[in-house]
Amino acid sequence: MRRARALRQAMTDAEKALWRRLRHDQLGVRFRRQHPIGPYIADFACRPVRLIVEVDGGQHAVRPARDQRRDAWLKGQGFTVLRFWNHDVLGNLDAVVNSIHAEVLRLSAAEDAVMGDRPDP
């Protein structure tokens, strides 16, 4: 928990820009920043639709196997993982937010379809 708190205080410019667009349920769902999930801390997590958004800097280009293991673990827990480069967030924030919103809608529709198949109590 301390590490997550420290990461929240040391967010990159790209993470700060994206957080301004994700916070306060602006996409119709609640996101948490620097949120612990199992052994990992997600940059942004939306638990209701099981969506993780990661904003990657240059260090991720030299350690792709580490990100692949992390993504595989998160997917095994039922999460969808979206990754964006820092420069994409800073250079085209609207497109990144639109991609995230589209995924939120897709996952919400999938959840609604599953819930619709269940009998009423």
Unique residue bearing structure tokens 């039922």: 78
User: 116, 103, 119: which is closest to 48 by C-alpha?
Assistant: 103
Residues 6+ apart with CB under 8 A from 14: 55, 57, 86, 87, 89, 90
pLDDT tens for 14-39 read 999 999 999 999 999 999 999 999 99
Dump pLDDT digits (tens) for 45-74: 999 999 999 999 866 555 778 889 999 999
For residue 114, is pLDDT > 90?
no
- Do residues 31 and 22 touch, judged by C-beta distance below 8 A? yes
Domain spans of the chain? 39-82
Q: Please state the length of the chain.
A: 121
Question: The pTM is what?
Answer: 0.83
Ranges 74-78, 88-92, 109-113: which has the least confidence: 109-113
Of 97, 102, 98, give the one whose Cα is nearest residue 17: 97
Q: What are the residues whose beta carbons fall under 8 Å from the beta carbon of 108, sequence distance 6 or more?
A: 28, 29, 49
Neighbours of 77 (CB within 10 A): 12
pLDDT at residue 111, rounded to an integer: 74
The rounded distance, in Å, linking the Cα atoms of 111 and 107 is 6
